[in-house]
Amino acid sequence: MTVHHLHLVSDATGETINSVARACLVQFSGVEPVEHVWSLVRTPSQMSRVVAGIEANPGPVLFTLVNDALRTELMDGCRRAGVPCIPVLDPVIHALAAYFGVAISGQPGLQHVLDSEYFDRIDAMNFALSHDDGQSTSHLNDADVILVGVSRTSKTPTCIYLANRGIKAANVPYVPGIQLPDELFQVKGPLVVGLTKDPARLVQVRRQRLNLHSGDNTETDYVNLDSVRREVAEARKLFTGHGWPTIDVTRRSIEETAATIMTLFSRHQAEAI
């Protein structure tokens, strides 16, 4: 089997380059290269080690570097090794610079500076954790977004994802026979979104979780297909009755669900102005 190597070189944390690599690699079925991650590369000695690593394991190089001397050293090393060297952000940065008519700062890691946006994300993360699964309902009106959904619709990870985008998200579970908190129906500012899922898929996921955590195979309404169908139908009726937008997450990743919510939230904000 042929072994492919891929080098990801960054002068910051490498988060951006990793995301780009993930987005690109999914387009190549059956290709799983050995990834070599080189982050916080900011000195000539560090770059020398990177180039040596590339020469030892030749493979395409994706990079995000703003220092011209380091870029030149990397590209020269790749030329000698006979491998592609791709500056993934250059087209975007240069196009924006030309449009805005301003110079590029050339300072690495600016997206991670401890500015107000960073602390907004931290606040949003704390909010999501303290308002998970119906906690602290007396403060629901402080949320930007409130997710309501039946069990196993990825409410918590979606809230965490949104928090990482600076959106304060709370989630409230819909459980048959248990009344939702009054505070949920009294909120004025937050966008409330209902999450639902195909009943058959819900049963499958719930059974897997029960077996994983307790080995319990007992037949209950929680995993009974007819009961789950009624549960999902009741939840949908509730969402529709209150005019809450509803998202079926059956075939959506958390990222896709969050992207839809962020679009809805942008519209919600615009309508509030």
Binding-site residues for ADP: 149-156
- What is the largest distance, in Å, between two alpha-carbon atoms of the chain? 69
Strand partners, 148: 172, 194
SS (H, E, C) 128-171: HHHCHHHCCHHHHHHCCEEEEECCCCCHHHHHHHHHCCCCCEEE
CA dist 63 and 11 (Å) reads 9
- DSSP for the chain reads ----EEEEEESS-SHHHHHHHHHHHTTSTT--PEEEEE-S--SHHHHHHHHHHHHHS---EEEE---HHHHHHHHHHHHHHT--EEETTHHHHHHHHHHHT------TTGGGS--HHHHHHHHHHHHHHHTGGG--GGGGGG-SEEEEE-TTS-HHHHHHHHHTTT--EEEEE--TTSPPPGGGGT-SSSEEEEEE--HHHHHHHHHHHHHHHT------TTT-HHHHHHHHHHHHHHHHHTT--EEE-TT--HHHHHHHHHHHHHHHHHHH-
Strand partners, 64: 10
